[in-house]
Structure 1
């Protein structure tokens, strides 16, 4: 029974129980349940690796058909610092669809100098897929100029043009397309950021990257981010790539990336490119294919409004 201001009750065994103690106990129990739920969620990962849907995603991308007039293929522009993994990602995407490790785009060596100097369009799977990639010089001080990236996004840069770090492409240049078609224009901008050195990225590179993404936003071009080299940023992921979406370290890097390149977390895709492997494997394939699927969907949404 209830008696006194302490709201004490007598239970069957005659032992008193304080309502405040009950409430505290329930709070602790609820906290424990939520903690276990968070642990389970952490074990499952904040994003799924759709291992069972690899064939389905690959088939969808292969069979994908554009319905926008005058756009025969989606153009995706990659930009980032030297050695971020831009060319390596292009090679990795091609490897996924070829079912073997391929090497088409030249990858930057460890010298810190940009390997890419020309504006080249890379098709995937011998041109059978309705999307292409373009790579540009690194964003370092002696790298590509912002004006040239802007020109590329608007479709003014002719195939094979050699970038000049000192002088932007002029409208009077033979390599300048005065009246670009919808095919010439970029349909999705992808910033490439290496997870292992994101904390040490030069502020001038970050500023340049954000200026470019802001310009893309002004034009209406979607902007996504690839966070590469996740295996070099987290020992757990290096040991087992399947833990990429359960790693606290990778999640922390994504948050840092979001802050630095001014992109929401849902637009950031951690990936591991083929680098040392001589053969493809399903885990790498699935992670890369998932990123490509989102990039293609973003580009497709953009052209549907042109």
Structure 2
């Protein structure tokens, strides 16, 4: 008796025209354990690496800090508070976050979260520059209308190497249709200030699952996505980041459990941040 063979089995659906047949960047899928071990065993030669994130309101700065902590703890966390409504920056203070390794110890890197950039409000670019130099104390409440002055109690007059920013991370949402001129001007100004201070910089492209439906269905399509490849090229062309310094990531927002593939992208960005910051500190 002849078996019925489905048309789907004989003729599989054609690949999506929005996805390339091959990845345009190699990703160590299935090797999360190795990257995680590198992070867990990392020991700085001099100082803990200080990583500061900046970007527009709602780009995913605080969410990325939570996502890193979720990866390292193996469970979803939300210590850096976020807001689902958007429009205005939910982060209003200069906040320092360390991640507990075992009780009484923490990982040898520190995240600094800041208020988001807005068109007429948000963090002053001058405050970002002061923070990079180590002049801003933890807990400083940002004033969108005026930057921190030397007479303010939250001004650190004599910053140490540990107070300074060792790697700067520009956070850009991949879901934006285009980059606004005002945002580009501010982001570029910060980038050039970091160059003058010789602080290494990388960029992370967030919300990639919202930006590209193919990635939303399967995150392993991230480096096959035509849209994300074009978006990275756009960010590179507008802000000047080399494409290999732009890392697409998916932050944990609605999930209740971590995922190895999501963790892989986050760890890829994190290890670059740590290595870049370590090189900066050692070169001083």
Q: How does the TM-score come out when normalised to structure 1?
A: 0.83
Match of 1:153? 132
**1:276 CA displacement:** 1.2
For 1:213 and 1:273, the matched residues in 2 are separated by 23
Match of 1:113? 88
Q: Which has the higher contact order (CA 8 A, sep 6+)?
A: 2
1:291 matched to 2:243: no
Q: CA RMSD in A?
A: 1.6
Q: Secondary structure of the residue that 2:163 maps to in structure 1?
A: coil
| Greater fraction helix | 1
Match of 1:164? 143
**1:123 CA displacement:** 1.0
2:215 to 237, 250, 253: 237
Q: Secondary structure of the residue that 2:112 maps to in structure 1?
A: strand
Match of 1:89? 64
Which ranges in structure 2 are unaligned for 5 or more consecutive residues? 1-19
**1:128 CA displacement:** 2.2
Aligned pairs for 1:29-48 (under 5 A) are 42-48=20-26
For 1:166 and 1:133, the matched residues in 2 are separated by 25
Residues 30 and 261 of structure 2 are in contact (CA less than 8 Å); yes or no, is this contact kept in structure 1? no
For 1:204 and 1:284, the matched residues in 2 are separated by 32
2:195 to 200, 213, 217: 217
**1:172 CA displacement:** 1.2
Change (3 A) 1:112 1:48: same
Residues 57 and 86 of structure 2 are in contact (CA less than 8 Å); yes or no, is this contact kept in structure 1? no
For 1:43 and 1:296, the matched residues in 2 are separated by 32
**1:113 CA displacement:** 0.8
Residues 93 and 114 of structure 2 are in contact (CA less than 8 Å); yes or no, is this contact kept in structure 1? yes
1:98 matched to 2:79: no
Alpha-carbon displacement from aligned partner over 1:254-294 (angstroms, at most 9, x marks no partner): 11111122211011001110111111010100110011011
Q: Secondary structure of the residue that 1:193 maps to in structure 2?
A: strand
Aligned pairs for 1:127-276 (under 5 A) are 128-140=106-118, 141-199=120-178, 201-276=179-254
Change (3 A) 1:198 1:257: farther
Aligned pairs for 1:5-24 (under 5 A) are none
Which ranges in structure 1 are unaligned for 5 or more consecutive residues? 1-41
Q: How does the TM-score come out when normalised to structure 2?
A: 0.89
